[in-house]
Amino acid sequence: MKERENFGSRTAVIMAMAGSAIGLGNIWRFPYLVGQDGGAAFILVYIAATLVLSLPIFFAESIIGRRSHANCRGAMERLAPGTKWRWLGLLAVFTPMFIVSYYGVVGGWSLEYFIQACSLKFVHTAPEDLTGTFGEFIARPWAPVAFHLLFLLVTVVIVAFGVRSGIERVSKAGLPVLFVLIVVLAIYSVSLPGAQKGVEYLLKPDWSKLTPTTCIDALGQSFFSLSLGVGIIITYSSYVSKEENLLVSGVGTAVSDLVFALLAGLAIMPAVFAAGIEPGSGPGLIFDTLPFIFAKMGGIGAAVAILFFFTVLFAALTSCMSLVEVGVAYLTEERHMSRGWSCALIFVLTGAAGTLCSLSFGPLSQVHLSGQGIFDFADSFASNVLMTLGGLLCVVFAGWQMKRSDVFDEFTNGGTKTLNVKCFRAAYFLIRYVAPLGVAVLMLTNLL
């Protein structure tokens, strides 16, 4: 039997997990939620939600993954053999495959806009002529489908190379580049005339805008951004050696994700204010609004556009790799398929489902599920049902099904990590009581 791969170092662990967390959730979703929910007040709630709720769930999934050293389905069989918890394992495999089907569509949009930036389209087009071009593009029948499939193909090819040669190598090489690029973009953005209002919007909280909806959005964004409830953390942690410190890797991932999200806000919001555009422009902010801004920048707009959409594209790629790896781990270990054939099967299935999602903006726009288009239904169902249910079950499993001694053993490396031992009681309380309650509230709120 082939020996199971592990990540090569602590740096590789943090880079891979941070790469899964740092994605379109930070660049595409976070800025428009900040604009929609009142700026700094939302950000402070988001940070608190990450540390108090999402990080304990991250620890719970990490403990499950490393304790079992197996894929999501195998983890449940090893830790709770012969029980109904096996359904959690199957849910944790199905959810990321479901998400890839529409996430790859947005990845395709990122690829298309990167190519447009490289062709200098945004600086050779009058700003007013760019208005509405995003809607026109996604409504076209087959171009978005082609970019979706190309993006997905690149993803599965990288994953096919394996944990160390594929995922680890790309994450270690690409994540530092992402941080450098987003810092460069943030510095440029805050230097624009009129950008000061955007910086104040991000840093000065207006507590009058803090509403229950703001809190729920911040909680949901924190959950979404750290890739919780989708089997990624379980799968990646199963590749972590027993010597690695789960407290350090968890905090390192959460901090990296928070810092990148804040930098993304600084890269986008000051530019939005400088251009006199409404900050709550919604999900189309980076694809519809920002090209308009790049066009108004003149010559330097070309370089800024290329850097920005390369950052968006690579962030989408690292997140999509982690989603695909969950399915590959299941197929190779439980169904005994080769890594190459597993990647091929996932490409065909998610590519076909993603094609339907993409066409829902064009030829299939009249097809509705629960009153929503196919893409919007997939996004809503994954975020509001699958992810929250998976996260809730994982934290309940670690807090109530696993033995306390086993959780202690994984979290503290057998009691050898002094800081972890000191933090264990608080972490276990959050895992056992606070996190399940928080996720349950989020789930019920989303469903009502």
CATH number at residue 243: 1.20.1740.10
| Other Cβ atoms closer than 10 A to 194 | 12
Contacts of 210 (CB under 8 A, 6+ apart): 38, 41, 42, 45
5 within a domain of the structure (yes/no): no
| Other Cβ atoms closer than 10 A to 139 | 13
Q: Tokens at residue 93, please?
A: 């495999």
Question: Mean pLDDT score of the chain, rounded to an integer?
Answer: 87
In this model, does residue 71 exceed pLDDT 80? yes
Mean of pLDDT values over 44-65: 93
Mean of pLDDT values over 409-427: 95
Strand extents, DSSP E, 107-238: none
Q: Which of these ranges, 40-44, 99-103, 169-173, 346-350, has the smallest mean pLDDT?
A: 169-173
Q: Which of these ranges, 140-154, 156-170, 293-307, has the smallest mean pLDDT?
A: 293-307
Nearest to 42 by CA among 208, 204, 210, 281: 210
Query: What's the pLDDT at 329?
Result: 93
Mean of pLDDT values over 302-330: 89
Cβ(79)–Cβ(68) below 8 Å? yes
Could you report the per-residue pLDDT of 219-255, keeping only the tens digit for each? 888 888 888 999 999 998 998 888 889 999 899 889 9
Side chain identity, residue 316: A
For 208, which DSSP code? G
State which residues form the domain around 82: 10-447
Mean of pLDDT values over 27-56: 86
pLDDT category at 203 given cuts 50, 70, 90 is confident
* Angstrom distance (rounded) from CA 431 to CA 425: 10
For residues 352 and 132, which has the higher predicted lDDT (pLDDT)? 352
**Number of domain units in the chain:** 1
425 within a domain of the structure (yes/no): yes
84 within a domain of the structure (yes/no): yes
In this model, does residue 6 exceed pLDDT 90? no
150 within a domain of the structure (yes/no): yes
Radius of gyration of the chain (CA): 21
Query: What's the pLDDT at 93?
Result: 94
335 within a domain of the structure (yes/no): yes
* Angstrom distance (rounded) from CA 182 to CA 198: 16
Provide the Cα torsion 27, 328, 76, 400; round to 10°: -10
3 within a domain of the structure (yes/no): no
Query: What's the pLDDT at 181?
Result: 85
58 within a domain of the structure (yes/no): yes
220 within a domain of the structure (yes/no): yes
